[in-house]
Amino acid sequence: MKKLLIGIIVSLSAQIAVAQHHLTYESYAKDVAEQDTTYISVVEFHNCLKICNVIDNYKQAIPGYAESATYVDYAHDSVFTILEYADGKYYSSYQLNDNDVVFSEEGSEKLLGYNCKKYKTSINSNTIEVWMTESLGFEATPMPSLGRLQGVMVRCARNGAYITDLKQVTKQKYALVDMIPDDKGQHKTNRELSQLRKDKLIVRIPVFNDEQIHFADYEPLEGEIPFDTTLHFSHGTLILKRMNLPELPEHYQIFAEIHQRSNGDAYDRSASVFVIPTEKAKSFKDGLQHLEALPIFVGNDGQEYQGIKAEKDYLPPVELVRFFTSFGAGHFNDRVQIDGLEWAEENHYKQEISELRDRLRGDVLIGAFIGNYDRGGHKLSLDLLAYPGDNKWKDKPLKQHSIPLFNTCNVLEMIGQNYGRLFATDTLEVEFEIPEGAKNVRLRYISTGHGGWDGGDEFNPKENAIFIDGEKQFSHTPWRCDCATFREQNPVSGNFWNGLSSSDYSRSGWCPGTATNPVWFDLKHLKPGKHTLSVAIPQGEDEGTSFSHWMVSGVILYDQSDKK
């Protein structure tokens, strides 16, 4: 027993005689006034490294953030990465430290007080420069992915602009640590672990899952709209769900992701994803079953336009994404075969909507519309995705705000909501008020023209003139001339004698199978108080039973910190 104890003591002494080195690295963007500096901790002990990011308090970390550590075992040329999540689960990857990064030696220089050798390489068109010192007597790096260079990394520069510097080195003797844990959790490949780390950080909110949007009869809703239930309105061509959405910090970027395919309808259809504001006495939801409950604008043409613009006690729907179905993707892929073309199984639309984050928190009514009279119609899925811009939660008062102005997209078409035909005889005018302290005021504007014959506004560029307080300030002509790019998404688009397809034709701000990008107009010059905004479009004349119309939506955006 005595010999055994002596052996253990000798063994421990052999380990603790080796100093443990603590290195702190700072990563930052050069010449950037406002930046988030990150710190990396590297512990070197007995020819091994433990590398991890430094975060002040993991309790302030965003959901899905893992305590992550990378372990380098120089003796065996191996690298482990281990992720530990709040639920207690571990995941790890393992690889040999034998990557194929080749550095050239660029001479010697003194940097940050150390005598260094400089190395240089290129990775994915990025110039990487690394300074290493051998004066400290051991090996350490915060970036094992760059391979093994002799000594301690003092600086790494990517493209001369993104810098990681050695800030501090401390040494502690008689410290015994378990550098590489025995329990490494569930094993993943490096690729799988990287994807797992990203997936857990993304806040994914499923809204609609393969819901049918078609022309059919549905029982009218009785009573209050329930949470988390998909409801059909306007003969099934509009689906709606009430949800309680999380309030995320503003460093999250929010996207709408839509998957859509034909379920029997062969045509390109106007479609929209939107939210319904409910903070005023009247709401668009009042018209879901009874169209006459919406505020009416009577045009000079004598027609009624229901719920299209803001009133003192009413706000129109806020459009998140305007998109257009293709000619039959998915359902009709076996109808026509063309050499060199492989038809898409579905249409995929993904668009950032971060600027409307104030409409995507708390109690929200979110809807999706596809105009069609087909019993099969379309299938649609919608997710909201939020990507963090910081590892910390940073819960601050909401700064970004919106004021809904107008929306002529007739999402209740099938129960009689009029098309946006008013521009032939009227200018669309709406009043709004900019609050005190508002900054970065701008207009988010979506416009597409329709009228599907040679003389219709779908196929003819038309100026959209925007007036502020009676003065013309902006001119925008919606036009897409890249529609032929999306031929694979249109299997039953008409094919003509000259080799073109009907989906190839240029259109007023849209293409079959694509989403329309909003345009932005700068209104920072406007002072606080009441203003008017008007939209004028030279809408074309009717031809027989055919007519042109315009789907326009507009929202004022501004920044202002709320006071608590």
Q: What is the CATH number of the domain that holds 451?
A: 2.60.120.230
Q: Is the pLDDT of residue 480 over 60?
A: yes
Per-residue pLDDT of 188-200, as tens digits, reads 999 999 999 999 9
Cα→Cα distances 139→46, 175, 507, Å: 10, 18, 62
Do 245 and 183 fall into the same domain? no
Query: Is residue 378 situated within a structural domain?
Result: no
What is the mean predicted confidence (pLDDT) over 226-239? 98
Q: Is the pLDDT of residue 453 over 60?
A: yes
Length in residues, the chain = 564
pLDDT at position 174 is 58
**Locus of tokens 């249409």:** 347
Q: Is the pLDDT of residue 4 over 60?
A: no
Per-residue pLDDT of 208-217, as tens digits, reads 999 999 999 9
Question: Among residues 249, 491, 266, which one has the least CA distance to residue 378?
Answer: 266
Q: Name the percent of the chain lying above pLDDT 90.
A: 84
Pick the range with the lowest mean pLDDT from 17-26, 176-185, 405-414, 471-480: 176-185
**What domain count does the chain have?**
2
Helices (H), 487-550: none
pTM of the predicted model as reported, rounded to 2 decimal places: 0.90
Rounded Cα distance, 379 and 433, in Å: 40
Do 213 and 139 fall into the same domain? no
pLDDT at position 155 is 98
Q: How confident is the model at residue 11 (pLDDT cuts 50, 70, 90)?
A: very low
Query: Is residue 126 situated within a structural domain?
Result: yes
Rounded Cα distance, 486 and 8, in Å: 72
- Using an 8 Å Cβ cutoff, are 375 and 262 in contact? no
Q: Is the pLDDT of residue 6 over 50?
A: no
Pick the range with the lowest mean pLDDT from 177-186, 325-334, 363-372, 403-412: 177-186
Rounded Cα distance, 452 and 419, in Å: 14
The whole domain housing 521 covers 209-219+229-372+384-391+398-559
What is the mean predicted confidence (pLDDT) over 258-283? 98
Q: Within 10 A of 454 (CB to CB), how many other CB atoms are there? A: 9
Query: Is residue 514 situated within a structural domain?
Result: yes
Q: Is the pLDDT of residue 115 over 90?
A: yes
Do 176 and 245 fall into the same domain? no
* DSSP strand pairing (162-172 vs 126-133): unpaired
Do 164 and 259 fall into the same domain? no
Per-residue pLDDT of 74-106, as tens digits, reads 988 899 999 999 899 999 998 876 667 899 999
Do 418 and 521 fall into the same domain? yes
Do 287 and 413 fall into the same domain? yes
Q: How confident is the model at residue 14 (pLDDT cuts 50, 70, 90)?
A: very low
pLDDT at position 79 is 92
Across 416-438, b (16+ Cβ under 10 Å) vs e yields ebbbbbbbbebebebebebeeeb
pLDDT at position 18 is 59
Query: Is residue 506 situated within a structural domain?
Result: yes
Rounded Cα distance, 279 and 380, in Å: 28
Do 269 and 367 fall into the same domain? yes
Rounded Cα distance, 95 and 194, in Å: 13
Per-residue pLDDT of 402-450, as tens digits, reads 999 999 999 999 999 999 999 999 999 999 999 999 999 999 999 999 9
pLDDT at position 34 is 67
Helices (H), 322-415: none
- Using an 8 Å Cβ cutoff, are 440 and 446 in contact? no
Do 215 and 175 fall into the same domain? no
Rounded Cα distance, 42 and 152, in Å: 11
- Region of 278 (left: φ > 0; alpha: ψ -120 to 50; beta: rest) is alpha
Do 214 and 173 fall into the same domain? no
Do 129 and 246 fall into the same domain? no
Query: Is residue 379 situated within a structural domain?
Result: no
**Locus of tokens 């492989």:** 342
pLDDT at position 2 is 38
Query: Is residue 436 situated within a structural domain?
Result: yes
Do 165 and 249 fall into the same domain? no
- Using an 8 Å Cβ cutoff, are 496 and 395 in contact? no
Any long-range contacts for 112-116 (C-beta under 8 Å, 24+ apart)? 112/154, 112/155, 112/165, 112/166, 114/152, 114/154, 114/166, 116/154, 116/155
We report the CATH number of the domain holding residue 76 as: 2.50.20
C-alpha torsion sign, points 301, 307, 309, 312: positive
Per-residue pLDDT of 27-41, as tens digits, reads 999 887 666 788 999
The residues with which 72 forms a beta bridge, in sequence order, are 49, 79
Q: Is the pLDDT of residue 323 over 70?
A: yes
Query: Is residue 200 situated within a structural domain?
Result: no
What's the chain's average pLDDT? 92
Do 238 and 119 fall into the same domain? no
Query: Is residue 154 situated within a structural domain?
Result: yes
Q: Is the pLDDT of residue 487 over 80?
A: yes
